[in-house]
A and B are shown apart, each in its own frame.
Chain A
Amino acid sequence: MSCTTCQHQLEAYVDGELAAADATQLEAHIGICSACAGEAALARQIRAELRSTPAVQCPDHILAAVERRLASQARDRHPIRQPVRARWYAAAALVSVLGVALAALYLRPTAPEQQYTADEIAEARQQVELAFALVGEAARDVSAYLREDVFDDYVFEPMRRDLGAH
């Protein structure tokens, strides 16, 4: 075997990927050629040194920064508009309820003979139902906000993470 062929096949030999017959020829050559023997030793040392490289660890602050950025992105994607809207609904509902109550007080019969028409009663009932619907919607919005943006992000997900870590 020539030195050129030997050097060309050296890496495959070091990896144990050379055919048996070729490996035997190469070993015979490095047995009599000090230059190629030195190259073979160098190839082995490079491979061994690379494979024993100490494993650098990613600093913890990088993962913490990633989690902060993800939380920030989540807040940007789901801006806290629901509570604002909910507050308006709640205020509107409160005004409506107060309005109905005041109207009922102001318009209450002063004499036992005063009677409401069927249309007036139906209108009053509609206003009360609307007020309760607005209060209900506001409550649902606040509930969804608490569940999704507060408990999920700041309570349940950290708990899931902690449980997963153990």
Chain B
Amino acid sequence: MPLSSDALAAHRHLIYRYALRLLGDADDAADVTQDVLIRLWHHSENVPVERMTAWVLRVTRNASLDLLRSRRKRLDHYDPATAADDLATDGRHSPDAIAESADFRRHLDQALARLDEPYRSIIILREIEQLSYRDIAEALDLPLNTLKVYLHRGRRSLRETLRAAIPVEDFLP
């Protein structure tokens, strides 16, 4: 039995966010999201429910990387303005804290966009989307232990990039 529209709606946010992070372009992310949802609709009968998330992630990643290869796009133009705006509307942060946090996030987004695969996907899926190790390992076709090693390696790489951009003294407790 094919998926319902509700099932498509449930997956669309994850697909769109992942594609947007990988592609750094809202229009490209929209194209990939449409294609993945249509493939999900047609192939849902062959995908067990418990493996649906991993399947969706794998198809999204493949489609995004194919698009990047075909268009030779670079990933360093992700606009973190939305994130900064969201933070700015949070009354718990002082203006200075918002500025510092927005600046930190801008550096972090740029560092993440420049991270190589599969480290970038692992950081996006584990740290930002907070998905299970099992789903991520299956989506990226990696053994669980390798995935954890790569996660720490990816975060260490982000730390090294940020350390070069921001003085370490700023982070002393």
For A51, list chain B residues within 8 Å (CB): 127-128, 130
Q: Could you tell me if B168 and A66 are in contact, using CB atoms closer than 8 angstroms?
A: no
Task: Say how far A66's CB is from chain B's closest CB, in angstroms.
Answer: 5
Is A76 interfacial (CB 8 A cutoff)? no
Q: Which of A11, A35, A49, A73 contacts B168 (CB 8 A)?
A: A35
Q: Could you tell me if A58 and B15 are in contact, using CB atoms closer than 8 angstroms?
A: yes
Q: What total of chain A residues lie within 8 Å of the partner, measured CB to CB?
A: 40
Q: What total of chain B residues lie within 8 Å of the partner, measured CB to CB?
A: 44
Contact with B along A11-40 (1 / 0, CB 8 A): 110110100000000000000001101110
A12 and B152 alpha carbons, distance in the complex (Å)? 7
Q: Could you tell me if A42 and B162 are in contact, using CB atoms closer than 8 angstroms?
A: yes
- Total contacts A-B at CB 8 Å: 107
Q: Could you tell me if A49 and B172 are in contact, using CB atoms closer than 8 angstroms?
A: no
Is B58 interfacial (CB 8 A cutoff)? no
Q: Which residues of A contact B (CB under 8 A)?
A: 7, 10-12, 14-15, 17, 34-35, 37-39, 41-43, 45-47, 49-51, 53-59, 62-63, 65-67, 69-70, 73, 160-161, 164-165
Q: List 15 A-B contacts (CB under 8 A).
A: A11-B151, A35-B168, A41-B171, A41-B172, A42-B168, A51-B127, A54-B82, A55-B13, A56-B20, A56-B82, A58-B12, A62-B16, A66-B37, A66-B41, A160-B4
| Closest 3 pairs between A and B when the two form their complex, measured CB to CB | A58-B16, A11-B152, A50-B127
